[in-house]
Amino acid sequence: MADDAPASAPSPGVREGQWLWSPRAEFAAASNIAHYQRWLKSERGLDLPDYSALHQWSVTEIAPFWASIWDYFDVQSATPYARVFDERKMPGARWFEGSRVNYAEHLLRHEAVAADGEAAFHHLTETRPLAQMSWQQLGRQVRILATQLRALGVVPGDRVVSYMPNVPETAVAMIATLAVGGVWSSAAPEFGVKTVIDRFSQIAPKVMFACDGYRFGGKDFSRVDEVAEIASRLPSLGCIVWLPYLQPASGVPDKIPQALLWSTLMDQPDVPREQFVYERVPFDHPIWVVFSSGTTGLPKAIVHSHVGVLVEHLKLMHFHLNLRPGAPMFFYSTTGWMMWNLLIAALLTGGSAVLYDGSPMHPGPDFLWQLAARTRCVSFGASPTFVQMMEKAGLKPGSDHDLSALESIVVAGSPSTPETFDWFYRCVKQDLWVTSQSGGTEICSGFVGAVPTLPVYAGEIQALMLGMDVQAWNDDGVSVVDEVGELMVMSPFPSMPLYFWNDDGDQRYRDSYFAHAPGVWRHGDYIKINARGGCYIYGRSDSTLNRYGVRIGTAEIYRCVEQLPEIADSLIVCCELAGGRYFMPMFLQLRAGHVLDDGLRERISRKLRADCSPRHVPDQLYAVELIPYTLTGKKMELPVRKILMGWPVEKAVSRDAMMQPAAIDWFIDFTQRNSEMLKG
């Protein structure tokens, strides 16, 4: 794939921005995006010779660009759209008014031309061997389940939720829900009851898909009691569809009497493809509700549209990930992360998705590379933390496994370092398109990411994605190049949220992204855009925690920990350290008469694991006299994080804005005493 691939592996002292790889001319010419550029020239008369020109056109001529995406991919609509969008404004732009589409219909379009037995899913769990689900099997199961959902009374707009592992049944449930116009939402089974209720209670679901548990690292975790409690606290539920995953031969538990067995629901006659009718829904019909991490209260219930997600994912999966029919894509994810939605979106390209549920390190640290070899993965994805685990284990997957089919690496979930890129070239293969992406749950896509026609530089995200009008702003609100600034989006795009559920007047939506600069999206990441268009993400500029590639909301942790009688108050931050590592300490203000001993530490950790997830457990716990607050009553998470990461105190915090200015002194002293540790 590379014209001038390094003769030997990059040196261990790889520098940020160091050239690592360029695509071969034939690889670039055969890419989906190159085909699109040729189409634009022949069909639209547009000569856009390089990616920079293509991107500039996509953000200045917004309507013609997104219209070209619609036409290029032949989007199926029951009615024509009246216009691409109504106004160049954020929020509130209305996309493809008049159209009626269905995302699920496009996910399954390849079934009509797929070879008999061609895989749509490769799937493996710690309880099930590696197997395949063909396009024909997937289509058959979706149509049966969709028909049964209609029989259960699910109509367009009804919410259908999932508390299921990363298995084909969950994907079938999502696609079937969307096929009938239902609104999908998912939580991973490792989430605790309160975390699930905080999400699902906001949207009043009618149906819930649930399982009896999951296995991780060789250990089984029952979820029967949790499902029973969740069901008891969701009065809107009319039905639970029960999947006996850990105990396949078991029936419906006595604790969940209203449940129907998955096998009973699916033991129905086939519904021929030509007879099944997808519910083509209006342009502003919700497709799903995805949840933020709950930094400032309950997790934000973010609603996207069928048409917005469809055109965005067609663009993303074809042009930026370069997937094609028959190409397997793997990304290590749980069903509670939007990356799972993107993994299923591989079907839009005619490619296949590799689903895995379990520990990435069980039974051995090279397990996922074995999976990549066995499924002939073309695209392999994980978070930078996964690379750290691989490097610590001393793995050299390129030497130990047949990765000859592998073309690209997708690194997402947290900022990548030059060392992350370097490891892939040293230990996997030198002729490899190593990519990093950054976006968010809010858009179910990326702002910056991969381009198969561009070179790869160490630690650098290749480019701004098509249709994403991104700038870096300094503290004065000026767009800057080669300087770190706030990631700001200047123009609307289709996969912006329609709204937040139960957000009267869109107030929370506006406060989340537009309070900083009305009409301009402030994402909450630090970004640097260099002169050649490459990008670097330097972590969060707000208080959202980012640990092991998964964003975690501080409010969820506070609500859990502060239920303990010993805890008066708390504050948690996550600091990015050298080499892509993280340090997530929690600071506790104890009630009078209590001490932070080993017993209390264990109780806190146990409660966070049970109520939230293992990822919510801090790295260290520290007792402090006071938690610092602003005059308006907000915990000073970002100033504390800045101080711990070495910012000058005068730039990190304004004492005049504090309720009790002396409260910050403990953190200043802590940073000075632990400077070497905090430097990594």
Provide CB contacts within 8 A for 66, sequence distance 6+: 84, 85, 95, 311, 467, 494
pLDDT at 294 over 70: no
Q: Which of 270, 288, 306 is the last residue of a domain?
A: 288
Check residue 517 and give its pLDDT: 93
For residue range 466-483, list pLDDT tens digits in order.
Answer: 999 999 998 889 999 999
Q: Do 510 and 504 meet the contact criterion of CB atoms below 8 Å apart?
A: no
| Domain contains 432 | no
pLDDT at 556 over 80: no
For residue range 507-543, list pLDDT tens digits in order.
Answer: 999 999 999 999 999 998 889 999 999 999 877 777 7
Binned at pLDDT 50, 70 and 90, residue 418 comes out as confident
Residue 655: which of 643, 645, 670 has the closest Cα?
643
Q: Which residue has the higher pLDDT, 192 or 357?
A: 357
Binned at pLDDT 50, 70 and 90, residue 295 comes out as very low
Check residue 68 and give its pLDDT: 98
Strand partners, 240: 208, 259
Binned at pLDDT 50, 70 and 90, residue 246 comes out as very high
Token pair in block for residue 55:
């991107």
| Domain contains 269 | yes
Binned at pLDDT 50, 70 and 90, residue 315 comes out as very high
pLDDT at 274 over 60: yes
pLDDT at 213 over 60: yes
Check residue 420 and give its pLDDT: 87
| Domain contains 511 | no
| Angstrom distances, CA of residue 465 to CA of 51, 339, 471 | 10, 17, 12
Q: Which long-range contacts (CB under 8 A, 24 or more apart) does 230-235 make?
A: 230/163, 230/193, 230/196, 230/197, 230/200, 231/256, 231/258, 233/193, 233/197, 233/201, 234/197, 234/200, 234/201, 234/204, 234/205, 234/208
Could you count the other beta carbons within 10 Å of the beta carbon of residue 482? 9
What's the whole-number mean pLDDT along residues 52-64? 98
Strand partners, 382: 411
Check residue 8 and give its pLDDT: 31
What's the whole-number mean pLDDT along residues 46-55? 97
Residue 510: which of 445, 308, 518 has the closest Cα?
518
Q: Which of 237, 260, 288 is the last residue of a domain?
A: 288
Check residue 297 and give its pLDDT: 58
Assign 3-class secondary structure to 418-486. HHHHHHHHHHCCCCCEEEECEEECCCCEEEEECCCCCCEECCCECEECCCCCEEEECCCCCECCCCEEE
Beta strands 521-529 and 535-540 are antiparallel
| Domain contains 673 | yes
| Domain contains 480 | no
CA atoms of 655 and 398, how far apart (whole Å): 53
| Domain carrying residue 663 | 553-679
For residue range 172-182, list pLDDT tens digits in order.
Answer: 999 999 999 99
Q: Do 146 and 276 meet the contact criterion of CB atoms below 8 Å apart?
A: yes
pLDDT at 631 over 80: no
What's the whole-number mean pLDDT along residues 355-378? 95
Binned at pLDDT 50, 70 and 90, residue 436 comes out as very high
CA atoms of 327 and 5, how far apart (whole Å): 24
pLDDT at 217 over 90: yes
Count of alpha carbons within 13 angstroms of residue 463, beta-carbon side: 22
| Domain contains 88 | no
Binned at pLDDT 50, 70 and 90, residue 70 comes out as very high
pLDDT at 362 over 80: yes
pLDDT at 384 over 80: no
| Domain contains 189 | yes
Least confident of 55-64, 195-204, 360-369, 407-416: 407-416
Check residue 293 and give its pLDDT: 67
What's the whole-number mean pLDDT along residues 55-79? 98
If phi over 0 gives left and psi between -120 and 50 gives alpha, with beta otherwise, what is residue 326?
A: left
Q: How many structural domains comprise the chain?
A: 2
The helix/strand/coil state of 184 is: strand
* pTM (2 d.p.): 0.87
Distance of CA 474 to the CA centre of its chain: 27
Check residue 563 and give its pLDDT: 85
pLDDT above 90 covers what percent of the chain?
78
CA atoms of 560 and 490, how far apart (whole Å): 37
What's the whole-number mean pLDDT along residues 140-160? 98
Binned at pLDDT 50, 70 and 90, residue 12 comes out as low
Q: Which residue has the higher pLDDT, 331 or 676?
A: 331
Count of alpha carbons within 13 angstroms of residue 217, beta-carbon side: 4
Count of alpha carbons within 13 angstroms of residue 178, beta-carbon side: 29
What's the whole-number mean pLDDT along residues 434-450? 95
Q: Give me the CATH number covering residue 583.
A: 3.30.300.30
| Domain contains 383 | no
Residue 510: which of 59, 89, 62, 66 has the closest Cα?
89
Binned at pLDDT 50, 70 and 90, residue 105 comes out as very high
Q: Which of 263, 288, 313 is the last residue of a domain?
A: 288
The pair phi, psi for residue 354, each rounded to 5°, is -100, 115
CA atoms of 175 and 340, how far apart (whole Å): 13
Least confident of 10-14, 410-414, 502-506, 609-613: 10-14
Binned at pLDDT 50, 70 and 90, residue 548 comes out as low
